[in-house]
Amino acid sequence: MNLLTDPVGITHYLIVGAILFVTGAVCMATKRNALGVLMGIELVLNGANVNFVAFGSEYLRPGVLGIGLDGQLIALFVIILAAAEAAVALAIVLNFYNNHSTVDVDRADELKG
């Protein structure tokens, strides 16, 4: 089995989803800028969406290998959740920038309760 010569299947989608997920996790861990961290969160959510759609495909039968979930609806819910999260997070980042003239996450220690 060679992934480069086989027709596009579920394995290919899972690999792309894993690459997106790992890239987002690395971005969240290494960026000091709040906007970079938000981009990493979006990459993680998009990697999960690719996996949801792959697992919800018709090639995985619910009785045999599939998990029996409608992956497209779950991915749509995650997209709606990501849009709401991005709006709230950007509002927080803009407010923090107005108060501190930076979006460096290391300077956010005074936000502790």
Asked if residue 113 is part of any domain, the answer here is: no
Q: Is the pLDDT of residue 32 over 80?
A: yes
Asked if residue 107 is part of any domain, the answer here is: no
Reading the block at residue 73, the tokens are 């609806």
The predicted model scores a pTM of: 0.77
User: What CATH number is given to the structural domain containing 21?
Assistant: 1.10.287.3510
pLDDT, tens digit (0-9, with 9 covering 90-100), for 89-107: 889 888 888 888 888 877 7
Secondary structure of 14-48 in the HEC alphabet? Answer: HHHHHHHHHHHHHHHHHCCEHHHHHHHHHHHHHHH
What is the pLDDT, as a whole number, of residue 67? 55
Q: Is the pLDDT of residue 64 over 60?
A: no
Asked if residue 109 is part of any domain, the answer here is: no
- Domain residue limits at 33: 10-102
Average pLDDT score over residue span 50-73: 70
Asked if residue 112 is part of any domain, the answer here is: no
